[in-house]
Chain A
Amino acid sequence: MEHPHIRKDRSEEFARKYPHHHETFLVRPHWTRRRFFQVAGAGLAGSYLATKANASGPIITSQGMTTKNTAKNCIFILLTGAISVVDTFDLKVTNGVTPANFNPTLVNGINWPMGLLPKLGAQLPNLSIVRSMSSWALVHSLAQTWTQIGRNPAAALGNIAPNIGSVVAIEKDPLRTPSQVFPTFVALNSPSGAGEGYFQAAYAPFRLSEPGGTSNAGIPNAANPNGQTTFSIMSSRLHQYDDALRINSPYGQALDDYSAFYMAAQGMMYNPAVQQAFGFASADSTRYGSSSFGNACLAAKQILAANQGTRFIQITYGSWDMHQDIYGLQNPRGNNLYTMSPALDNGVSALLGDLQSTGLLNETLVVMVGEFGRTPRISAAGGRDHYLIQSDVFAGAGIQGGRTLGVTSSDGATVTDYGWNGSGTTGPRYVRPEDVESTIYSAMGIDWTTIRYDDPFHRGFEYVPFASQGAYGPVNELWG
């Protein structure tokens, strides 16, 4: 997979025909160059929060698209290593290859491996499966980053582009109330996921691995080893010794801003809401499958239920990179579909069930996607290699469940029906990571054609590349 090829399709032709172009901020009538530099100047002043305060407003443009606006929250599940969709979300039964105990069963007209993913099968009425998805590249790290930032990491602004969740965080930040103490963007089990790019650290993913773990508070360092009573004394001493330097600091605004992070941090310490959301009862953990991934799903549900300001949760689960022995015929305990699937099945099904029973599913978009697909043909090593065509799974936020979009050939090697009309004037085509990104933004009421001019190159950061020319857009067909 050293030299992956990139498939051409109509969106690529579109991009070539209409090369990247946008009007510069200087020709836009309603915000002047001087205003721009005032805003930019505030950011340069060494202030952590000055840019944040000015982040929305006059340096943003968009085409004024109508969004779906059905989702308050988003849970983004990244299946790293690339799950084999012909064994799961787009099951293709091959005689002599597909294990009999996969128990292929028609559910809602969808052929499903009930033997492998039984509980998820029971959730099919909530799921909408897009089978015409295609990745752009077949290198793991590149495609994983691509999926999380919704653009080519090697293209312009690719190396400073924020995670989709950071864009959601900067957009939803104004809706936070003072009593909400959770970060807007939480990333569970995603230690090396894409970060906030050029945005302020305030929009960075709040990374948490192994939620719960051994700490009853759930969040590392949300409690002091000396105990709460001593900590409150220590904290008062800190104010006594340092308020002269951290409040209206003689050394500049940056020190006041740093103090603000302390206040936010102390809001999360010894806070019952934090402990309830990020820690959990063992019975619940069991119900979610008693796995690290299941615990992350449980924490995600609890974090959203707490309504403490978190709007985007990323959960990463791997590794699905099964080049050898994908069915565990040689080594049943190795990294294969049987060892990896139960955690996925238990975690996601319990998550969807709990979201539904609490009413949160109606306002939460759940997206589950790998960075690319795997070859429909089994390899000599009994595994599957990298392949562009894949499926992704959506649920919640008013999308129509219990069905599929797009059709693949009987062997899963090609897409025979894209199942959607494409974006702008592109016509039907593959669903791309950029389209998934647009779908998330639209669901959350964010105009996916937004361009913000606070990027370090002053080039204009498009939330979705080329979206203002219609090259990419949301898969509206998900809503029926």
Chain B
Amino acid sequence: MAMKRTFLMAAGATLMLTAGFVASRAQDPAPQDLPADPADQQLPVSDPICTFFGPDRNRFVPTRNSPDGMLTQQVALRLASADAVMRAAAVAGAIPSAPGGSRTDTIQHPSENTIDKYIFPALAAANVAPAPPTTDFEFIRRVTLDLTGRIPQAADVVAFVNDPSLNKRAALVDNLLASPNWVDKWTVWFADLYQNNSRNTQVVRYIQGVTGFNTYIRSSLGANKPYDQMAREIIGAQGANSYTQGELNFLVGGLVTGGPVQDIFDQQTANTVQTFLGISHMNCLLCHNGRGHLDALSLWGYETTRQRAWGMSSFMSHTDTLRTSVTGAVNGQPYYWGLSDNTRYKTDYALNTQTGNRPARGATNSRTTVPPAYIFDGTGPNPGENYRAALARKITSDFQFARATVNYVWEYFFTAGIVSPSNQFDPMRLDPDNPPSNCPSPSNPCTLQPSNPRLLNALAQDFINNNYDLKSLMREIVNSQAYQLSSRYNGAWDPNTQNLFGRKLVRRLWSEEIHDAIAQSSGVIPTYNNAVWGPVSWAMHLPEPLATPDGNGGRVASFLDAFLRGNRDDQARRPDGSITQALDLMNDNFVMSRIQPKGAAGSLLVKSLPLPDDQLVNTLFLTVLSRYPTSAEMSAALANLKTNRTQEAQNLLWSLYNKVDFVFNY
């Protein structure tokens, strides 16, 4: 309790500062008279139009529980008039100068949000001040990208910022979660997680299999299917045709050539445990005991033997992964896959291999087969129960299933997992009421693994209580004050404290997001015709990252590849930068063709050029960057536009697509 009190005092000090700015702003509208904030070395505010990045940015920030209700009221009154101007302008089709103000809604503090109940006390305990809250501009861009993979429309940004309602952020979140773009984005996210691709080094699914799996994910998300049900359907899937029964494709991905069938059971088990329980060390344990290998990584891994791993793999041991050529196939190709239980394989996991991709499996204690046994409690299937149905039941009723899932989702929204890496859970280091101690080996990790174990458990419990509802989980995350902290930080940032989540970490936009943001904002929407999966306009609608919209070696395909969309096999989706990305954003036809002053009639630049200079600048900024220009940006742009206006407008738009706040979600 003492810690909590300290935190509230610190937070209170911050509130006083905020209130101070609001007060002086309200009483004295001349911005140059504002007191300079020495801690904020960013863009100086010299122009009333442009306040987004300066110390005055606090106007765009939630007022929280202002100790002075009068101030809030004054601001609200002022905003109401600005809002009327904005709405009128929006109707007229032109975006006027920046409004004089912004936020009015009030976030409850202290928050009832589960996340905030654990994050802010942890920050206070570590004496780390949280970053300031996001402005409305920051928030709408961030949450729209995170939930739907798109940047917001300019009109939506303006309407949101000027919406005086108190719960507008939560309302925006609800709208985004209900939008079809949410299904698009999260179909790709889950297809990444499930490694849904047409071919990898081991198995060919064909594009029909990929599409089948996407269709399954898409319809499940669209119907808001509880996630435990999805997991049961995927783990327990039985059927003959992976084209028409998409969920078969997950376990098909465990096919391994060049070895005995146990190699396939093992890989299917490893994939299942990593995906649904977050424990990639299962793969190691299917080759050898953890001791001597995982000592320093996982206490559970250290304690676990290959024998026990075989018990887990034995749940797959009655499954035949078999392929069938389609009618009219040439040389047996193409083919689809099926999963069939108790047909070809009817005995349990056999210890009789000498060659293949994993070390030999030999009889131990004269035991030549291993019966299915859940690795954490040794229990097997119920009498007569299908092995994989039993495994699916055990996994989805395991608290670790909820914990691993919320951590994967958390990692996406916060750029780092509460357990990180998110696929390396150590089950023996998760319970805050029973932390590891007296570890058997001096090299064992002997501390709790999650950066905030009670938060992780509470999130998992909420997920269960909400019937494994993915939208509820995401709503809980993005409505938290923690998620809504700025990525801008006042003062010196210590990277060692990042696991406390006191600051939002930026992420580079996905390949598909960059493509779609350029297409959407430029107003030049491409159409990719493809006999199998086309026509498609949005990269988020492509069936897989291997898909080449303009053919093999095509420039759009290269553009997408440059942003490291991965292959869902040995190349994960990556946030890294590269020289190629810079060359492409600066010079590629995908960008250059969309910033032509004599381009398509509906394009952003062609539509904006007739506007007065300040409206032109505002429109480009709002449409591409979802914010108004700063005063420095505005004055620079206005000065540049005085000569060679058309060329300078193009230069401005080109610069916006190359700005770091376009490429990143911040």
Chain A positions within 8 Å of B, measured between CB atoms, are 2-6, 8, 16, 19-21, 24-27, 41-42, 44-48, 136-137, 139, 141-142, 145, 152-156, 158-161, 183, 191, 194-195, 197, 200-202, 204, 206-207, 209-210, 219-226, 230-231, 233-235, 237-238, 240-242, 244-246, 249-252, 254-255, 257-259, 261-262, 264-266, 268-269, 456-459
Contact with A along B628-666 (1 / 0, CB 8 A): 001011001100100000011001101110111101101
Output the least CB separation between B52 and chain A (Å): 11
Is the Cβ of B258 less than 8 Å from the Cβ of A137? yes
Is the Cβ of A221 less than 8 Å from the Cβ of B570? no
Shortest 10 CB-CB contacts between residues of A and residues of B: A201-B576, A265-B582, A45-B495, A221-B587, A221-B583, A255-B660, A24-B296, A26-B443, A262-B582, A238-B655
Q: Give which listed residue, B202, B555, B664, contacts A142 with CB less than 8 A.
A: B202
Q: Give which listed residue, B53, B202, B505, B582, contacts A46 with CB less than 8 A.
A: B505
Bound form: Cα–Cα A130–B495 in Å? 51
A6-B355, A46-B506, A191-B552 given as contacts; is B583 within 8 A of A265 (CB)? yes
Q: Give which listed residue, B357, B493, B640, B664, contacts A154 with CB less than 8 A.
A: B357
Bound form: Cα–Cα A233–B586 in Å? 12
Task: Tell me whether B438 is interfacial, beta carbon within 8 Å.
Answer: no
Which residues of A lie under 8 Å from residue B584 when comparing CB positions?
221
Which residues of B lie under 8 Å from residue A136 when comparing CB positions?
258
A26-B296, A48-B577, A154-B256 given as contacts; is B660 within 8 A of A265 (CB)? no
Closest to A153 in B: B201
Bound form: Cα–Cα A257–B577 in Å? 8
Is the Cβ of A20 less than 8 Å from the Cβ of B288? yes
Task: Tell me whether B297 is interfacial, beta carbon within 8 Å.
Answer: yes
Which residues of B lie under 8 Å from residue A154 when comparing CB positions?
201-202, 256, 258, 263, 267, 357
Task: Tell me whether B199 is interfacial, beta carbon within 8 Å.
Answer: yes
Is the Cβ of A244 less than 8 Å from the Cβ of B42? yes
Bound form: Cα–Cα A76–B493 in Å? 44
Which residues of A lie under 8 Å from residue B663 when comparing CB positions?
258
Bound form: Cα–Cα A145–B258 in Å? 14
Task: Tell me whether B4 is interfacial, beta carbon within 8 Å.
Answer: no
Is the Cβ of B640 less than 8 Å from the Cβ of A237? yes
Is the Cβ of A142 less than 8 Å from the Cβ of B257? yes
Bound form: Cα–Cα A202–B582 in Å? 13
Is the Cβ of B258 less than 8 Å from the Cβ of A251? no
Task: Tell me whether B580 is interfacial, beta carbon within 8 Å.
Answer: yes
A sample of 29 inter-chain contacts (CB < 8 A) reads: A16-B359, A44-B420, A44-B498, A46-B415, A136-B258, A154-B201, A155-B357, A159-B569, A183-B579, A195-B570, A201-B564, A202-B576, A209-B553, A220-B558, A221-B584, A224-B586, A224-B587, A225-B587, A233-B647, A237-B655, A241-B637, A241-B656, A242-B660, A244-B53, A254-B508, A266-B586, A268-B583, A456-B421, A459-B293
Bound form: Cα–Cα A161–B589 in Å? 33
Q: Give which listed residue, B287, B356, B493, contacts A156 with CB less than 8 A.
A: B287
> Given known contacts A221-B588, A233-B647, A237-B652, what 15 new A-B pairs fall within 8 Å (CB)?
A19-B288, A44-B420, A48-B577, A139-B257, A156-B287, A160-B572, A201-B564, A223-B587, A224-B587, A238-B659, A258-B508, A266-B582, A266-B586, A456-B421, A459-B293
Which residues of B lie under 8 Å from residue A250 when comparing CB positions?
42, 53, 488-489
Is the Cβ of A6 less than 8 Å from the Cβ of B579? no
Output the least CB separation between A260 and chain B (Å): 8
Chain B positions within 8 Å of A, measured between CB atoms, are 42-43, 53, 199-202, 256-259, 263, 267, 280-281, 283-284, 287-288, 292-293, 295-297, 355-357, 359-360, 415-416, 420-421, 424, 442-443, 487-489, 493, 495-496, 498, 503, 505-506, 508, 552-553, 555, 558, 564, 569-572, 574, 576-584, 586-589, 592, 630, 632-633, 636-637, 640, 647-648, 651-652, 654-656, 658-661, 663-664, 666
Is the Cβ of A241 less than 8 Å from the Cβ of B555? no
A242-B658, A459-B293 given as contacts; is B487 within 8 A of A252 (CB)? yes
Which residues of B lie under 8 Å from residue A242 when comparing CB positions?
655, 658-661
Which residues of A lie under 8 Å from residue B424 when comparing CB positions?
457
Closest to B356 in A: A6
Interface of A is mostly: loop
Is the Cβ of B636 less than 8 Å from the Cβ of A255? no
Bound form: Cα–Cα A159–B274 in Å? 14
Is the Cβ of A225 less than 8 Å from the Cβ of B592? yes
Bound form: Cα–Cα A225–B593 in Å? 9
Bound form: Cα–Cα A3–B323 in Å? 13
Q: Give which listed residue, B201, B256, B356, contacts A141 with CB less than 8 A.
A: B201
Which residues of A lie under 8 Å from residue B257 when comparing CB positions?
2-4, 137, 139, 142
Output the least CB separation between A366 and chain B (Å): 26
Is the Cβ of A225 less than 8 Å from the Cβ of B201? no
How many inter-chain contacts with C-beta < 8 Å in the A-B complex?
A: 235
Output the least CB separation between B464 and chain A (Å): 29
Which residues of A lie under 8 Å from residue B498 when comparing CB positions?
44-46
Is the Cβ of B582 less than 8 Å from the Cβ of A261? yes
Output the least CB separation between B265 and chain A (Å): 14
Bound form: Cα–Cα A252–B421 in Å? 21
Which residues of A lie under 8 Å from residue B495 when comparing CB positions?
41-42, 44-45, 47
Is the Cβ of B283 less than 8 Å from the Cβ of A156? yes
Is the Cβ of B586 less than 8 Å from the Cβ of A221? yes
Is the Cβ of A251 less than 8 Å from the Cβ of B357? no
Bound form: Cα–Cα A45–B506 in Å? 10
Closest to A24 in B: B296
Is the Cβ of A241 less than 8 Å from the Cβ of B655? yes
Is the Cβ of B655 less than 8 Å from the Cβ of A233? no
Which residues of A lie under 8 Å from residue B564 when comparing CB positions?
201
Which residues of A lie under 8 Å from residue B442 when comparing CB positions?
26
Q: Give which listed residue, A139, A204, A238, A269, contacts B658 with CB less than 8 A.
A: A238
A21-B292, A44-B498, A238-B658 given as contacts; is B587 within 8 A of A254 (CB)? no
Is the Cβ of A261 less than 8 Å from the Cβ of B660? no
Is the Cβ of A269 less than 8 Å from the Cβ of B297? no
Which residues of A lie under 8 Å from residue B578 when comparing CB positions?
201-202, 204, 261
Which residues of A lie under 8 Å from residue B648 when comparing CB positions?
237
A142-B258, A201-B576 given as contacts; is B295 within 8 A of A24 (CB)? yes
Is the Cβ of A458 less than 8 Å from the Cβ of B582? no
Output the least CB separation between B64 and chain A (Å): 22
Bound form: Cα–Cα A252–B131 in Å? 12
Is the Cβ of B355 less than 8 Å from the Cβ of A8? yes
Bound form: Cα–Cα A2–B263 in Å? 15
Bound form: Cα–Cα A456–B199 in Å? 24
Which residues of A lie under 8 Å from residue B664 when comparing CB positions?
251, 254-255, 258
Is the Cβ of A258 less than 8 Å from the Cβ of B577? yes
Is the Cβ of A264 less than 8 Å from the Cβ of B579? yes
A41-B495, A224-B586 given as contacts; is B636 within 8 A of A241 (CB)? yes
Which residues of A lie under 8 Å from residue B53 when comparing CB positions?
244, 250
Bound form: Cα–Cα A4–B263 in Å? 14
Is the Cβ of A230 less than 8 Å from the Cβ of B647? yes
Which residues of B lie under 8 Å from residue A206 when comparing CB positions?
579-580
A46-B415, A457-B280 given as contacts; is B487 within 8 A of A201 (CB)? no
Closest to A8 in B: B355
Which residues of B lie under 8 Å from residue A251 when comparing CB positions?
487-488, 506, 660-661, 664, 666
Bound form: Cα–Cα A226–B508 in Å? 27
Is the Cβ of B583 less than 8 Å from the Cβ of A269? yes
Bound form: Cα–Cα A418–B640 in Å? 72
Bound form: Cα–Cα A8–B648 in Å? 68
Which residues of B lie under 8 Å from residue A458 when comparing CB positions?
296-297
Is the Cβ of B360 less than 8 Å from the Cβ of A16? yes
Which residues of B lie under 8 Å from residue A153 when comparing CB positions?
201, 570
Which residues of B lie under 8 Å from residue A48 when comparing CB positions?
576-577
Output the least CB separation between A438 and chain B (Å): 21
Which residues of B lie under 8 Å from residue A209 when comparing CB positions?
553
Which residues of A lie under 8 Å from residue B655 when comparing CB positions?
234, 237-238, 240-242
Closest to A33 in B: B296
Q: Give which listed residue, A8, A194, A237, A259, contacts B570 with CB less than 8 A.
A: A194
Which residues of B lie under 8 Å from residue A252 when comparing CB positions?
487, 489, 493, 503, 505-506
Bound form: Cα–Cα A153–B663 in Å? 33
